[in-house]
C-alpha cells in the first residue's frame, strides 16, 4: 500500500523516479517513444503601429497530418497573443495557464497586462521544467510601454527581437524576413510580409502546411485574421463521387431466449439486518 | 567491449507513394513526383516510374539512389534478354526477374518498395507488388510507399478483390473502365496528399493498353 503512495507525484509536476530505470533500458537497446509535435512555422514582426503574428495551420503526428486547420495563435490577453510550436499539448497548456494568471493579475492591479509580464510568467514556468515542457513560443503584444515581440525557447531563455520565427519551418520563414524586413513597415506591408514568410514555410517545410493565420495587434485594437490565406485547396474532387456500401453479411442467426426472471419472495421481511 | 552501434546509415527515405491498378485490358501505374529528405523537399519534379519493356512499367518509392541502381540493373538485364531471345520480356517474366534481383541483395537490400504493372501475354492487365527483398504476388491493385496505408483501405473498399480461396478462380482484375480507374487513382492521390506530408506536388500516371502507353500529369497540393 505504501509503495503506491510513494510513486505518485505529491503536488503534481514531473516525477523523476523512473529515470535510472529508463537509462538502464536504453543502454540495453530499448528505443524511447516519441512525442507528438506540431511541426510548424510561426513568425512575428514589429511594424510602425504595433505587432503582427503569423502561423500555419498544420498539426502532424509523425508523417501524418492530424489536423489540417488547427489554431496556433493563442489568446493571452486582449492586447497580447502568443504563437506556439513544439508539442501541441504543451503549447496549449502553458498559454492557457499564463492567460488565466494574467487575467487574475489584471483584476488584482486594475491595469492592462504588459507583454513582459506574460514573458516572465512563461519563461519561469518553462525554466522550472528544465526543457521537458516542449513549447517554443513567439509572444507579441502592445501595451502602455509600446509594441513588444519576444521568442521563448523550451528551456526558458528569451530573446527580444524586431522579427522572429520558430518551428520546423523557421529557416524557410527567416530567409524571407532577412531579405525583406525593414523598420517602419505599414500595416499592409507587414501583413503581406508575414503571409509571405508563412507561405515559405508552408511550401518548403513538410512539417508545415495548409492555411495562413495572421493576428495584427495595435494600440487599443487587435484583428485576429483566421485563415487569412487559403493557398492549398484540394486539387481533385471526383464528379461522380464514391459510395461506401454498408453491406453486412449475415453469417449465422442464432436466437438465445433469455431466462425468465423469477422473483423469489421468502416469507418474511427482506433486508432486515 | 559492448557491441558498437552504427553512427551512420547507408539508407535514406525519399518518401513518395506509388499505386497500380489492373483492368481487363489496361493497366494504370501512378506515382507522385515529390522527392524529399527529412522535412525538406529536394525536388517537386522527380519521376519514380520507368518503362522496363514495351508492356512492363515499374514504379518505386523509398530510397531513390537504390531505386536508380535497381532500374539500371533491370534495364541492362532486359537488353541482354532481347539480344539472346530476339523478343521483349513479358510482364510476368519481368516480375520474376525483379524478384530475383531484389533477393540477390538479401543481406544489403535495395531500400526500394516496388510495384510492377503491365499487360500479360493475353493482353489482360497485371500488377505485381513487392517488398524490399523480393517477395512478390500478382494482384489486382496495389499501393506502396508513405501514402500506402492511407490508399490501400480505400482501394480495398472500391475494388473489392474476390477471395483467392473461392473456386472457380476468379480474376483479380477490376471490371471498372479505364476512365473510372483513372478517376479512382486521381482521387486516391488527392486524398493521400491531404494527410501524408511526403506525398504531393504532382502525380504522374501511365496507362498501358492495346494501343500503347499514355502519360498524364495532375497537380497536387504543394504544401
Answer whether residue A107 shows pLDDT above 90.
Answer: yes
Higher pLDDT, A1 or A154: A154
With beta carbons under 8 A apart, name residues in chain B contacting A235.
Answer: 190, 193, 218-221
Closest Cβ–Cβ partner in B39, B157, B158 for A206: B39
User: pLDDT value at position A242?
Assistant: 85
- Supply the pLDDT for residue A182: 94
Give CA–CA dist A155/A134, Å, rounded: 8
| Contact map slice: A 5-44 vs B, CB within 8 A | 39
Q: Report the complex ipTM.
A: 0.84
Q: At residue A239, does pLDDT exceed 90?
A: no
Cell of A180: 525583406
- Strands of the sheet containing A158-160, edge to edge, are A73-77, A80-86, A135-143, A146-152, A158-160
Name the minimum distance, in Å, from the CA of A62 to any CA of chain B. Answer: 9
Reported as a single tens digit per residue, the pLDDT across B56-66 is 999 999 999 99
Whether A203 sits inside 8 A of B223 (CB atoms) is: yes
Hey, which residues of A are catalytic here?
Answer: 40
Partner-chain contact B223 A210, CB within 8 Å: yes
DSSP classification of residue A10:
S
- Average pLDDT score, chain A: 89
Contacts of A28 in chain B (CB under 8 A): none
A248 pLDDT band, cuts 50/70/90, is low
Q: A231 in contact with B at a CB cutoff of 8 Å?
A: yes
Residue in A195, A187, A90, A197 with CA at minimum distance from that of residue A142: A187
pLDDT at A249: 64
Mutate to test the interface with B, among A27, A28, A168, A236 (most CBs of B within 10 A): A236
- What confidence category does residue A20 fall into, taking pLDDT thresholds of 50, 70 and 90? confident
Residue A152 has pLDDT above 80, yes or no: yes
**Residue range A88-112: mean pLDDT, rounded:** 96
Each residue of B148-192: pLDDT tens digit? Answer: 999 999 998 888 766 666 666 677 788 899 999 999 999 999 999
A242 in contact with B, Cβ within 8 Å: yes
Taking the C-alpha atoms of residue A16 and residue B150, their distance in angstroms, rounded to an integer, is 38
pLDDT of residue A1: 46
The Cα A114–Cα A146 span in angstroms is 9
Range with lowest mean pLDDT among A16-30, B73-87, B203-217: A16-30
Residue B33's pLDDT band (cuts 50, 70, 90): very high
Q: Does A84 touch chain B (CB under 8 A)?
A: no
With an 8 Å Cβ cutoff, the interface of chain B facing chain A consists of 36, 39-41, 146, 157-158, 183-184, 186-187, 189-190, 193-198, 218-223
pLDDT, position B84? 98
Cell numbers placing B39: 522535412
* Distance from the A236 Cα atom to the nearest Cα atom in chain B, whole angstroms: 6
Mean pLDDT for A230-255 is 82
CA distance A253 to A117: 68
Find the CB nearest A63 among B196, B221, B223: B196
C-alpha cell at A174: 527567416
| Closest B-chain CA to A203 | B223
Answer yes or no: is pLDDT of B120 > 70: yes
CB–CB contact B187 A238 (8 Å): yes
Q: Do residue A234 and residue B40 have CB atoms under 8 angstroms apart?
A: no
pLDDT, tens digit, 9 for 90 and up, residues A138-150 = 999 999 999 999 9
Query: What is the C-alpha separation between A138 and A132, in angstroms, rounded?
Result: 18
Is B201 in contact with B220 (CB distance < 8 Å)? Answer: yes
Question: Are A65 and B218 an interchain contact pair (Cβ–Cβ within 8 Å)?
Answer: no
Backbone φ, ψ for residue A238 (5° rounding): -65, 135
Which one of A58, A203, A244 has the shortest CB-CB distance to B222?
A203
139-168 in chain A: CB under 8 A from chain B: 168
What cell numbers appear for B211 in the block? 494501343
Chain A interface test: which of B197, B198, B201 (most A C-beta within 10 Å)? B197
Do the Cβ atoms of A65 and B196 come within 8 Å? yes
Nearest to B219 by CA among B202, B198, B197, B204: B202
Q: What does the pLDDT read at residue A15?
A: 74
- Picking from A63, A69, A209, A238 by the largest number of B CB atoms within 10 A of its own CB, the best residue to mutate is A63
DSSP letters for B91-144: HHHHHHHHHHHHHHTTTS---EEEEEEEE-TTS-EEEEEE-TT--EEEESEEEE
Q: Which residues contact A225 (CB under 8 A, 6 or more apart)?
A: A191, A213, A214, A215, A216
Write the pLDDT tens digit of every residue in A182-223: 999 999 999 999 999 999 999 999 999 999 999 999 998 999
Whose cell is 503526428? That residue is A61
Q: Are B177 and B184 in contact (CB under 8 A)?
A: no
Which pLDDT score, from 0 to 100, does residue B166 have?
67
Q: A147 CB contacts (<8 Å, ≥6 apart)?
A: A46, A49, A50, A51, A140, A141, A217
- What one-character DSSP code corresponds to residue A32? P
Q: For residue A45, is pLDDT > 80?
A: yes
Q: What is the average per-residue pLDDT within A18-32?
A: 81
Q: Which residues of A touch B189 (CB under 8 A)?
A: 236
**Preferred mutation among A206, A210, A241, A242 to probe B, highest tally of B CBs within 10 A:** A206
Amino acid at each position: 500500500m505504501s509503495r503506491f503512495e510513494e510513486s505518485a507525484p505529491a503536488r503534481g509536476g514531473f516525477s523523476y523516479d523512473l529515470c535510472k530505470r529508463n537509462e538502464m533500458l536504453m543502454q540495453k537497446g530499448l528505443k524511447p517513444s516519441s512525442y507528438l509535435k506540431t511541426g510548424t512555422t510561426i513568425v512575428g514582426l514589429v511594424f510602425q503601429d504595433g505587432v503582427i503574428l503569423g502561423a500555419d495551420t498544420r498539426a502532424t503526428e509523425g508523417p501524418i497530418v492530424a489536423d489540417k486547420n488547427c489554431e496556433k495563435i493563442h489568446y493571452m490577453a486582449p492586447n497580447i497573443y502568443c504563437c506556439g510550436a513544439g508539442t501541441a499539448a504543451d503549447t496549449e497548456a502553458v498559454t492557457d495557464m499564463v492567460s488565466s494568471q494574467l487575467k487574475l493579475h489584471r483584476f488584482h492591479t486594475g491595469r492592462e497586462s504588459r507583454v513582459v509580464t506574460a514573458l516572465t510568467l512563461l519563461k519561469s514556468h518553462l525554466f522550472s521544467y528544465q526543457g521537458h515542457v516542449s513549447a517554443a513560443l513567439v509572444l507579441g503584444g502592445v501595451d502602455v510601454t509600446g509594441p513588444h515581440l519576444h521568442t521563448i525557447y523550451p528551456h526558458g531563455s528569451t530573446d527580444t527581437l524586431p522579427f522572429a520565427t520558430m518551428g520546423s519551418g523557421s529557416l524557410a520563414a527567416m530567409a524571407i524576413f532577412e531579405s525583406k524586413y525593414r523598420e517602419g513597415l505599414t500595416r499592409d506591408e507587414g501583413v503581406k510580409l508575414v503571409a509571405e514568410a508563412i507561405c515559405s514555410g508552408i511550401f518548403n517545410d513538410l512539417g508545415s502546411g495548409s492555411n495562413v493565420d495572421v493576428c495584427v495587434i495595435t494600440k487599443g485594437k487587435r484583428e485576429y485574421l483566421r485563415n487569412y490565406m487559403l493557398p492549398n485547396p484540394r486539387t481533385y474532387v471526383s464528379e461522380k463521387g464514391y459510395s461506401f456500401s454498408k453491406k453486412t453479411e449475415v453469417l449465422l442467426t442464432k436466437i438465445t431466449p433469455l431466462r425468465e426472471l423469477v422473483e423469489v419472495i421468502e416469507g418474511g421481511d427482506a433486508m432486515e439486518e | 567491449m559492448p557491441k558498437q552501434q552504427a553512427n551512420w546509415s547507408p539508407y535514406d527515405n525519399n518518401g513518395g507513394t506509388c499505386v497500380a491498378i489492373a483492368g481487363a485490358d489496361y493497366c494504370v501505374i501512378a506515382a507522385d513526383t515529390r522527392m524529399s529528405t527529412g522535412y525538406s523537399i529536394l525536388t517537386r519534379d522527380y519521376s519514380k516510374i520507368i518503362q522496363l519493356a514495351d508492356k512492363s512499367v515499374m514504379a518505386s518509392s523509398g530510397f531513390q539512389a537504390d531505386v536508380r541502381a535497381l532500374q539500371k540493373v533491370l534495364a541492362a538485364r532486359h537488353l541482354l534478354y532481347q539480344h539472346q531471345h530476339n523478343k521483349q520480356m513479358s510482364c510476368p517474366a519481368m516480375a520474376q526477374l525483379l524478384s530475383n534481383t531484389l533477393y540477390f541483395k538479401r543481406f544489403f537490400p535495395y531500400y526500394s518498395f516496388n510495384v510492377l504493372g503491365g499487360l500479360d501475354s493475353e493482353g489482360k492487365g497485371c500488377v505485381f507488388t513487392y517488398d524490399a527483398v523480393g517477395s512478390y504476388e500478382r494482384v489486382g491493385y496495389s499501393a506502396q510507399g508513405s501514402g500506402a496505408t492511407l490508399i490501400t483501405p480505400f482501394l480495398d473498399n472500391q475494388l473489392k478483390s474476390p477471395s483467392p480461396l473461392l473456386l472457380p478462380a476468379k480474376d483479380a482484375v477490376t471490371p471498372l473502365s479505364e476512365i473510372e480507374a483513372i478517376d479512382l487513382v486521381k482521387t486516391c492521390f488527392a486524398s493521400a496528399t491531404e494527410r501524408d506530408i511526403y506525398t504531393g506536388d504532382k502525380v504522374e500516371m501511365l496507362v498501358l493498353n492495346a494501343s500503347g502507353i499514355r502519360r498524364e500529369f495532375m497537380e497536387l497540393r504543394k504544401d
